[in-house]
Structure 1
Amino acid sequence: MRVDKYLWCVRYYKSRNIATEACKKNQVSVNGQVCKASREVYPGDSIHFRKDQITYEIVVLDLPPNRVGAKLVDIYRKDNTPAEAFAHLELLRLSKEHYRRAGTGRPTKKDRRDLDELEENTWNDDETE
């Protein structure tokens, strides 16, 4: 089975076209070698691919006949992705939220002035030292 089709069948990508594009961008490797979308995968192969700032590591256990339901995915692959990768993604999400909460809209003029004032104060503090 083709690597792009396999990644689509085990629900890592929403469409085969997106999986194919990931292969074209050299984001997918099989057994340590960057591969094209047409590369055949077999049970026992190790696939590494990057998606949403996470490098996934999976092992092919079996080849599905077609796209499978989410509950059946574990029959066809073993996920060896380290937990630190998911923790890093959560940390990135929280760091973005630190500056501005989601749903609060665009910054107002007052927010801009406050930022400018804060920036001026930090520059003045640096000069006095």
Structure 2
Amino acid sequence: MAVPEKFPDGARLRIDKWLWHARFFKSRTLSAKLAASGKLRVNREVVRKSGYTVKPGDVLTFPKGKDIRVIEIVGLGERRGPAAEAQTLYRDLSPPQPKQRTEAVAKRDQGAGRPTKNERRAIERLRNRSL
């Protein structure tokens, strides 16, 4: 007698459970809240129920922090395993994030701290001279 597969061809899994298995959220409740909020899309269609079922090949789009994640489902997880196992469940299609521009702020030498009294007076002289 053959042992039945856990996920045969055409298998589906609830979206909240899959997001939790893939470790995008710390709890299943948080993933269910995302689905109910209407900010989650599956194959470009808005999902409003946490019971929506997904299958391998579906593309998910959802906000995660300040980023927009675009994920293709590769497999369905049987459990919430370690991170290495969870990363095998999806392929990340998110566009690369632009680098932050931190150079706009003037940099001081580390440990320079506040200007001394003498430096403050020099700054005031420069400001008054420009008027």
TM-score, normalization by structure 1: 0.65
* In the alignment, structure 1 residue 66 sits paired with structure 2 residue 99: no
- What is the SS of the residue equivalent to 2:80? coil
Give me the CA root mean square deviation.
2.2
Show structure 2 runs of 5+ residues with no match: 1-12, 106-131
Amino acid at match of 1:58: I
Please tell me whether residue 52 in structure 1 is matched to residue 84 in structure 2: no
CA distance in 2, matches of 1:2, 1:9: 11
Return the offset for 1:48: 0.6
* Contact 2:80–2:86 (8 Å) recurs in 1: no
Structure 1 moving runs of 4+ over 2 Å: none
The separation in 2 between residues aligned to 1:43 and 1:52, in whole angstroms, is 25
Q: Distance in 2 between matches of 1:52 and 1:46?
A: 19
- Matched residue, 1:20: 32
Tell me the alpha carbon deviations over residues 14-55 of structure 1, each in whole angstroms, 9 at most, x when there is no partner. 001111111111111111111121110001000111110211
TM-score (structure 2 length as normaliser): 0.64
Which residue is 1:39 aligned to? Answer: 52
Q: Which amino acid aligns with 2:84?
A: K
Offset at residue 9 of structure 1 (A): 0.5
Per the alignment, residue 6 of structure 1 pairs with 18
1:27 alignment partner AA: K
What code does the residue aligned with 1:81 have?
S
Give the total of aligned pairs. Answer: 93
Runs of at least 5 residues in structure 1 that lack an aligned partner in the other structure = 99-129
Matched AA of 1:78: R
Higher percent of residues as helix: 1
1:75 Cα offset (Å): 1.6
Provide the secondary structure at the position in 2 that maps to 1:83. coil
Structure 1 residue 64: Cα displacement:
0.5
